[in-house]
């Protein structure tokens, strides 16, 4: 890899910018493509932007073999997936473990130090900052899911207000339809638009009739992955 490409890729990784390194396997020529540059990935007159974008969405590198054209390898460099969980509650314990196993970098946010402790969440990064302050520090991006689980408006609402004004790919809030209706009233009063409020998945999780904390965690993680991958359910 040429030094200028390597330097650009290192910068992309540092700024969490997705990229695809395209290598011509026949000539060894390389080019770095970004989905936000406003131009296509055109090689030998063929626009491969859709294929590169799909590879990024799938988190999977791909080989393209064209009739009469060069063999191209699309090497995906995506920022890490993250899940920021507000509330160190019982559901959070299995959710953090499952999300970690699924490839998410998990951080648990809870200003109540008695809840957010290393004893309850071994190996999981914790912060006892208030959620809006923690999110400002963590800088969630479009590869981030934000989940609020405390049922406490003083803790959940600031996180949700921050989340809906960011470009995270998933926002979910624990609570019954009645609880969420009250939450919506508060968020409207705080100045959020209907479109912003509509970004919140609530009640959180896929409807699999989950009962236990572990089952609810499964439902939440499934909905997060569904939102990430964009696969419609029948």
- What does 48-81 look like in DSSP terms, one character per residue? -HHHHHHHHHHT--EEEE-TTS-EEEEEEEPPPE
Residue 136: pLDDT band by 50, 70, 90 thresholds? very high
Q: Which residues pair with 173 in a beta bridge?
A: 148
pLDDT, residue 234, reads: 36
Establish how many alpha carbons lie within 13 A of residue 97's alpha carbon, considering only the half-sphere containing its beta carbon. Answer: 12
Percent of the chain whose pLDDT exceeds 90: 66
Alpha carbon distance 89, 182 (integer Å):
21
Quote the tokens at residue 122.
């071994």
Domain boundaries, the chain: 3-77, 81-229
Q: How far apart are the first and last CA of the chain?
A: 44
For 69, other C-beta atoms within 10 Å of its C-beta total: 14
Query: What mean pLDDT do residues 117-129 have?
Result: 91
Q: Is the pLDDT of residue 231 over 70?
A: no
Instruction: Identify the pLDDT of residue 233.
Output: 43
93-102, 108-117, 128-137: least confidently modelled range: 108-117
**How high is the pLDDT of residue 38?**
63
Q: Which residues contact 27 (CB under 8 A, 6 or more apart)?
A: 70
Residue range 96-117: average pLDDT?
Answer: 93
Give the pLDDT of residue 205.
Answer: 96
The pTM (predicted TM-score) of the whole model is 0.83
Phi (first) and psi of residue 58, to 5 degrees: -85, -10
Give 81-229's CATH code, choosing from 3.90.440.10, 3.40.190.10, 1.25.10.10, 3.40.50.720.
3.40.50.720
Round to whole Å and give the CA distance between 101 and 97: 6
- pLDDT range class, residue 75, cuts 50, 70, 90: very high
Instruction: Evaluate if residue 21 carries a pLDDT over 70.
Output: yes
Query: What is 3-77's CATH number, 3.10.330, 1.10.3470, 3.40.50, 1.10.10?
Result: 3.10.330
The reported pLDDT for the residue numbered 95 is 97
Whether the pLDDT of residue 158 is over 60: the answer is yes
Give yes or no for residue 44 having a pLDDT over 60.
yes
């Amino acid at each position: 890899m040429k030094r200028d490409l390597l330097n650009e890729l290192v910068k992309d990784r540092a700024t969490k910018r997705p990229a695809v390194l395209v290598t011509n396997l026949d000539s060894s020529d390389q080019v770095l493509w970004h989905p936000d540059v406003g131009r296509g990935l055109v090689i030998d007159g063929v626009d491969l932007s859709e294929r590169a974008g799909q590879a990024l969405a799938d988190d999977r590198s791909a080989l393209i073999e064209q009739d009469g054209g060069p063999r191209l390898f699309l090497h995906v460099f995506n920022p890490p997936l993250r899940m920021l969980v507000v509330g160190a509650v019982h559901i959070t314990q299995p959710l953090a473990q499952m999300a970690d196993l699924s490839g998410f970098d998990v951080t648990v946010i809870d200003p109540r130090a008695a809840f957010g402790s290393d004893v309850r969440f071994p190996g999981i990064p914790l912060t006892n900052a208030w959620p809006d302050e923690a999110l400002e520090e963590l800088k969630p991006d479009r590869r981030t899911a934000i989940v609020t689980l405390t049922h406490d408006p003083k803790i959940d609402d600031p996180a949700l207000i921050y989340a809906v004004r960011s470009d995270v790919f998933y926002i979910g809030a624990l609570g019954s339809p009645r609880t969420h209706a009250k939450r919506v009233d508060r968020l409207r009063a705080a100045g959020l638009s209907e479109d912003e409020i509509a970004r919140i998945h609530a009640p959180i999780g896929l409807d699999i009739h989950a009962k236990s904390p572990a089952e609810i965690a499964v439902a939440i993680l499934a909905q997060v992955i569904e939102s990430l991958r964009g696969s419609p359910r029948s």
